[in-house]
Amino acid sequence: MTGPRQALIIANDRYDDQGLKKLRAPAQDAAALAEVLRNPEIGDFDVDVVHNAPADLMRRRIQGFFNDRRRDDTMVLHFSCHGIKSESGELYFAASDTDPRLLDATAVPAQFVRQCMSRTRARSTVLFLDCCYGGAFSRGSSSVRASGEVNVLESFAAAKSPAGRGWAVITASNSMEYAFEGPDLAENSAPRPSVFTHAVVEGLETGEADLDADGEVSLDELYDYVFEHVRDQNPNQTPSKTMEMQGDLHLAHSRRGRIKIAAVPSPPSLRAAINSENAFTRQGAVHELGARLQDDRLPIAEGARQDLEQITSNDIRQIAEQAAGALRGIRLAPSPDRLDFGTVEAGSSSQQKSVTLSGPPLARHCVAQSTQSWLRVEPSITGLDVRVETYLEGHLTGEVVLKGVADETVVHVEVVVTPAPELETTHEPPPRDSTEEGETVVVHDPPPERPPRTDGGQEENQGREGDETGEHGRRESGPPSRSRRAVAVASAALATATAAVVTAVLTILATVAAVGDRTTDGGGGNIEDNVSDHEVLTTLNVSLITAAVALLLGAIARHDLDGHRDLYTRSASSLTRTMTAISKGMALAALIVVVLMLIVYLVGSRWW
């Protein structure tokens, strides 16, 4: 998955109008979906959540979400709210202040969303609609039933983006006809749409939506998984999809997929021995396959493994057991398989331990994924480096899941994080959308719903609540000073590198002037005097020092960023890497120029 990935989640569960029943699922669904999309090991999206916002704020956030995007952006917009069909057949999404009699003024038209999607420059746009759809109704009668159905996909049929960009719309149900009796939504309405979002979250979080087990969850795979899941839960609800997209869109990484290696088939002579009618010949083939299994060329070893797998299933017991014994040599064997970090203080530097992987190259070739946000894993020469971050307090347990070509195993991790001295508060973990003061934070548990307002001030604060929730979705994790430190150091590196380039240019100009004076002086002159008169060595030394300082500052910024990746937002990481790369190039160029000039001066001054 490449390019920036942005997600906007709109969840409305409370409405001013009494005819729009309160929904129980949107707040919890939005929190769970935001967590899984934001997880860098799954969705790796920058997520913004808008909760119980009025219609004008919803429209601003939607249009702003699609504006000013780049070609390689991937966009996901998710609605969890009531959907309303007007008497003229148009579809609207209900806001907290929606008045069914004034849909154009107080709701968000599907046509508006479609236009925003069609105008964006983003390469891929996906719209998820988890809405209760109501048919056309009138408030002028005490009992008017809806007629017709909400054909949701037809409302987006014309949402074609120019320049080959792709789009997709997936909805909990294409046609749902709800009965309205007077101002109230009938109590016998179809089941809550949270079944749909729950299926999306579960498929991404567990990796079960990775139907081909290739380590990536594509849009088509997610839809197929959600379709089957929803139909199993409620046969009366049928998710639907429409799309215009070239190629596969990978929405998330999968915790389920294993490494796949393009196998090199065994030589024909060995294949003939494997299929020989002579049992001793087949035993010799198994011995040869066992030797090839140890090859450091992974495609050859993988080809041998696949042949041995077939032998364990198809050959006689004695030979099958011999093949199984050879395969046991490439099982994942982490040592140790349990890491206890003991007791550490909250906010202290990250703790690290090493795990060694033994066996032949094919046994050591695996991917490692942590199950908790505070648990980090990186490859090392001998295996893995496992690190725990200390922003959460309590007795924490997690796992590092290792997945190879044929099997998988886990390394259990345990740590007790105690409160830091003289600190009253704990840091919040990155994946959470909102936490209450003093709450014990569990990474995969959604935050509790805010209690409903009872003081009559709901309408006044709804817009602000949407803004605060959206801003909180982008809040940086970890200590605020850390989130700015690498950027500040990288900025200093860039400024210093610029000074190095400027002084290098001044050195060149001074050198040209000194050489010109030396030429004018003729045989009675001395190049050292001319160099001294134009202060060439002074500017040269300044350029050398500033270039070296720029390289040092850039290295410090990159080291801090790489050592604390979870404490930086994507934008901060990208800005830091860009500035350090530019400063490194400028500093090296200045350094090379002045060093060459210094060498030429030291060598040539004695003769000139």
Which residues on adjacent β-strands are paired with residue 379? 384
Contact at 8 Å (CB) between 62 and 8? yes
Do 237 and 296 share a structural domain? no
Q: Kindly report whether the peptide bond that precedes residue 451 is cis, defined as omega within 30 degrees of 0.
A: no
Which pLDDT belongs to residue 98? 92
User: Quick check: is 438 in a domain?
Assistant: no
Report the pLDDT value the prediction gives residue 370, as an integer from 0 to 100: 80
Same-domain check for residues 522 and 502? yes
The residue segments making up the domain with residue 282 are 268-330
Q: Are residues 375 and 338 in the same domain?
A: yes
Does one domain contain both 324 and 344? no
Q: Is the pTM of this model over 0.75?
A: no
Whether 586 has a pLDDT exceeding 50, the answer reads yes
467-492: average pLDDT? 55
Note whether residue 521 is domain-resident: yes
The pLDDT assigned to 22 comes to 74
Our count of domains for the chain comes to: 4
Identify the bridge partners of residue 180 per DSSP, sorted by sequence position: 185
What value does the mean pLDDT take over residues 133-139? 41
Task: Convert the pLDDT of each residue in 76-93 to its tens digit.
Answer: 999 988 888 887 778 889
Average pLDDT over residues 571-595: 83
The secondary structure of 164-230, three-state, reads CCEEEEEECCCCCCCCEECCEECCCCCCCCHHHHHHHHHHHHHCCCCCCCCCEEEHHHHHHHHHHHH
Residue 403 located in a structural domain: yes
Least confident of 34-38, 284-288, 312-316, 375-379: 375-379
Q: Are 350 and 340 in contact (CB under 8 A)?
A: no
pLDDT for the residue numbered 183: 37
Cis amide leading into 54 (omega within 30): no
Conformation bin of residue 388: beta by default, left when phi > 0, alpha when psi is -120 to 50: beta
pLDDT band at 441 (very low <50, low <70, confident <90, very high): very low
Supply 319's token pair: 């030979």
Cα–Cα dist 436/449, whole Å:
11
> Of 591, 572, 577, whose CA–CA distance to 494 is shortest?
577
Whether pLDDT at 41 is above 90: no
What is the chain's alpha carbon radius of gyration, rounded to the nearest angstrom? Answer: 32
Residues 551-580 pLDDT 10s: 888 888 888 777 766 666 667 777 877 888
What pLDDT, on the 0 to 100 scale, is given for residue 423?
A: 44
Domain end (from 220, 253, 286) = 253
- Asked, for residue 272, whether it belongs to a domain, the answer is yes
Q: Of 330, 347, 382, at which residue does a domain stop?
A: 330
Query: What per-residue confidence (pLDDT) applies to 339?
Result: 93
110-126 tens-digit pLDDT: 889 988 988 888 888 99
Greater confidence, 233 or 524? 233
99 closest CA partner among 369, 459, 457? 459
pLDDT tens-digit map of 47-73:
999 999 999 999 999 999 999 888 889
Flag whether 166 is in a domain.
yes
* In-domain check, residue 456: no
> By three-state DSSP, how is residue 208 classified?
coil
Q: Give the residue with greater pLDDT, 466 vs 21.
A: 21
Residues 157 and 219 in one domain: yes
Q: Is 495 helix (H, G, I), strand (E, B) or coil?
A: helix
Contacts of 599 (CB under 8 A, 6+ apart): none
Structure tokens given for 264: 């090199």
Looking at the fold, whether 325 and 348 belong to one and the same domain comes out as no
Q: Which of 253, 283, 303 finishes a domain?
A: 253
Q: What percent of the chain has pLDDT over 70?
A: 75
**Is residue 340 predicted with pLDDT exceeding 70?**
yes
Q: Are residues 112 and 132 part of one domain? A: yes
More confident position, 292 or 486: 292
Same domain, 400 and 312: no
pLDDT in the model for residue 561 = 73
Residue 184, beta-bridge partner list: 181
SS3 assignment, position 262: coil
Q: Are residues 141 and 225 in the same domain?
A: yes
Assigned token pair, 232: 């199993």
pLDDT reported for residue 511: 83
Beta strands in 29-143 (DSSP E): 46-51, 74-85, 91-94, 107-109, 124-134
Q: Is residue 263 part of a domain?
A: no
Average pLDDT, the chain: 77
State the CATH number of the domain containing residue 407: 2.60.40.10
Nearest by Cα to 349 from 487, 520, 218, 482? 482
Distance CA 442, CA 398 (A): 11
- Whether 498 has a pLDDT exceeding 70, the answer reads yes
166 and 311, same structural domain?
Answer: no
Residue 319 and residue 366 in contact, taking contact as beta carbons nearer than 8 Å: no
CA distances from 497 to 545, 575, 590, 594 (A): 10, 16, 8, 13
Q: Specify the pLDDT at position 232.
A: 80
Given a cut of 80, whether residue 493 has pLDDT beyond it is yes
Using pLDDT thresholds of 50, 70 and 90, give the confidence band for residue 305.
very high
Query: Three-state DSSP class for 366?
Result: coil
DSSP 8-state class, residue 255: S
Q: Bridge partners of 459?
A: none
Same domain, 236 and 341: no
Please name the amino acid found at residue 464.
Answer: R
Look at residue 450 and tell me whether its pLDDT is greater than 50. Answer: no
CATH number, position 81: 3.40.50.1460
> Where does residue 52 fall: left (phi above 0), alpha (psi -120 to 50 degrees), or beta otherwise?
left
Domain assignment present for residue 451? The answer is: no
Q: Which residue has the higher pLDDT, 463 or 541?
A: 541
User: 551 and 585 share a domain?
Assistant: yes
